[in-house]
């Protein structure tokens, strides 16, 4: 083992998974989080089999399975007329084909499950309410009693840890906005699937819906072009932003527009992307998750990539010298993240197609059997760390 102790900056999905992954290799960690408590942030998320495989190996999956929904299918539907375009089976099919389940759940459910596992792990120590001013090993000892061998920047899109790495990625606004809201089961229209994930596609915009067991309702995310508000998440959607949302979905089916117009307390999330850049300093500091590769949600892999990063990092640092481990980790994960990003870019083009491209997309999808669509996802959902 090349290291004995790590300091992890950030206690989100990436940071907590990193702590558990390192502990599984016998490496202790201090997790430093600026928030005074880990509360409910965001709404729903999707966990595909490549992520649940890691969570299963870390012992977290059984807790999640008590709270989530395993969708029977992932479907693409026209936002103009609610016509089904294509569908990939999930549920038991996902378990059989990719070895692990596909689940949808509230983000806080995942974070709380990871948190419980961390608090029950003697090798992990959590420090809440500490804003990091610098991420050098000496600076971190002001918060933690032990000087770390490794510093993990798991502090999201506006990472402080990136400042310690020359030529690290920069983050910029993507030109797209996510509008997130939930609706209860009782008030949900009949066309929303109670058993699957559905992406409704339209010109320059799309809407994703899936059931959330925790709220007895649905999570909805509408993504379209929009304007940003500097470095902010979960901004309440005022009248002007609501008007912008409805304008982006003009020409859509009236039932979808009715949902958007009646959304209670929708939040406005500017979407940011990270450029290519260096993920480590060659000695003792490395970035994971959004700090390294914030990407658009068009392949629903944001949380999954953070989970994969954390597990892969622990695997590398446990078997070779730290400088070599950081290089190997970066090479492996950069290639993986780039492929996932490319898939997301393709999905963005396909989901938001208009005119002749939309017609061509619909024809191609109608001719692709479910088995072929599933095979296209084998590289993504069937991924195993170390393979």
CA 46 to chain CA mean position, Å: 8
pLDDT of residue 226: 74
How many other CB atoms are there within 10 angstroms of residue 66's CB atom?
9
What are the backbone angles phi and psi of residue 105, rounded to the nearest 5°? -160, 170
Q: Is the pTM of this model over 0.85?
A: yes
What are the backbone angles phi and psi of residue 286, rounded to the nearest 5°? -145, 150
Tokens of 129: 């309410």
Closest CA to 370 of 19, 173, 94: 94
Beta carbons of 106 and 213 less than 8 angstroms apart: no
Q: Which residue has the higher pLDDT, 197 or 225?
A: 197
Residue 112 has pLDDT above 90, yes or no: yes
Highest mean pLDDT of the ranges 34-38, 270-274, 303-307, 350-354: 303-307
- Reported as a single tens digit per residue, the pLDDT across 35-80 is 877 766 667 999 999 999 999 999 999 999 999 999 999 999 999 9
Q: Work out the pLDDT band at 193, boundaries 50, 70, 90.
A: very high
Closest CA to 309 of 270, 337, 274, 269: 337
Q: Does the domain spanning 5-71+99-170+275-350 belong to CATH 3.50.50.60?
A: yes
CB under 8 A, 24+ apart: contacts of 271-274 = 271/173, 271/174, 271/176, 271/177, 271/178, 271/223, 271/296, 271/297, 272/157, 272/171, 272/172, 272/173, 272/174, 273/171, 273/172, 273/174, 274/157, 274/169, 274/170, 274/171
Mean pLDDT of 307-333: 97
Q: What residue ranges do the domains of the chain occupy?
A: 5-71+99-170+275-350
| 185-203 burial: b if 16+ Cβ within 10 Å, else e | eeebeeebbeebbbbbbbb
Residue 33 has pLDDT above 60, yes or no: yes
Cα 81 to Cα 63: distance, rounded to the nearest angstrom: 39
Supply the DSSP string of 303-314, one letter for each residue: HHHHHHHHHHHH
In what helix (H) or strand (E) does residue 367 lie, and over which residues does it extend? helix 356-367
pLDDT of residue 41: 62
pLDDT of residue 234: 55
Tokens of 212: 């959330």
pLDDT of residue 228: 59
- Reported as a single tens digit per residue, the pLDDT across 117-165 is 999 999 999 999 888 777 776 778 778 888 899 999 999 999 999 999 9
Beta bridge partners of 78: 201
């Amino acid at each position: 083992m090349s290291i004995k102790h790590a300091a992890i900056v950030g206690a989100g999905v990436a940071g907590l998974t990193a702590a558990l992954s390192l502990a599984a290799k016998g490496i202790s960690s201090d997790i430093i989080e600026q928030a005074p408590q880990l509360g409910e942030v965001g709404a729903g998320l999707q966990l595909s089999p490549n992520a649940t495989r890691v969570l299963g190996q870390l012992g977290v999956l059984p807790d999640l399975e008590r709270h989530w929904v395993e969708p029977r299918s992932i479907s693409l539907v026209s936002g103009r007329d609610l016509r089904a375009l294509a569908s990939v089976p999930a549920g038991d099919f996902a378990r059989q084909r990719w070895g692990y389940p596909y689940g949808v759940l509230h983000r806080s459910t995942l974070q709380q499950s990871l948190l419980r596992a961390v608090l029950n792990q003697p090798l992990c120590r959590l420090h809440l309410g500490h804003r990091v001013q610098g991420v050098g090993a000496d600076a971190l000892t002001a918060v933690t009693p032990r000087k770390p061998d490794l510093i993990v920047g798991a502090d999201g899109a506006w990472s402080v840890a990136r400042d310690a790495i020359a030529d690290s990625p920069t983050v910029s606004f993507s030109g797209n906005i996510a509008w997130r809201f939930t609706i209860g089961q009782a008030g949900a229209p009949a066309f929303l699937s109670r058993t699957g994930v559905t992406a409704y596609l339209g010109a320059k915009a799309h809407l994703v819906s899936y059931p959330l067991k925790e709220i007895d309702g649905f999570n909805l995310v509408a993504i379209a072009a929009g304007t940003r508000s500097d470095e902010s998440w979960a901004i309440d959607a005022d009248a002007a932003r609501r008007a912008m949302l409805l304008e982006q979905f003009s020409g859509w089916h009236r039932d979808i527009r009715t949902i958007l117009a009646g959304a209670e307390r929708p939040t406005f999330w500017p979407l940011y992307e990270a450029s290519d850049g260096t993920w480590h300093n060659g000695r003792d500091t490395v970035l994971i998750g959004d700090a390294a590769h914030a990407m658009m949600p068009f392949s629903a892999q944001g949380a999954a990539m953070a989970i994969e990063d954390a597990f892969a990092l622990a695997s590398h640092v446990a078997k070779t010298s730290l400088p070599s481990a950081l290089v190997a980790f970066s090479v492996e994960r950069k290639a993986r993240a780039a492929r996932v990003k490319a898939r997301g870019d393709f999905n963005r083009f396909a989901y938001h197609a208009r005119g002749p491209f939309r017609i061509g997309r619909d024809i191609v999808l109608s001719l692709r059997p479910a088995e072929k669509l599933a095979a296209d996802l084998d590289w993504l959902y069937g991924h195993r760390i170390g393979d």
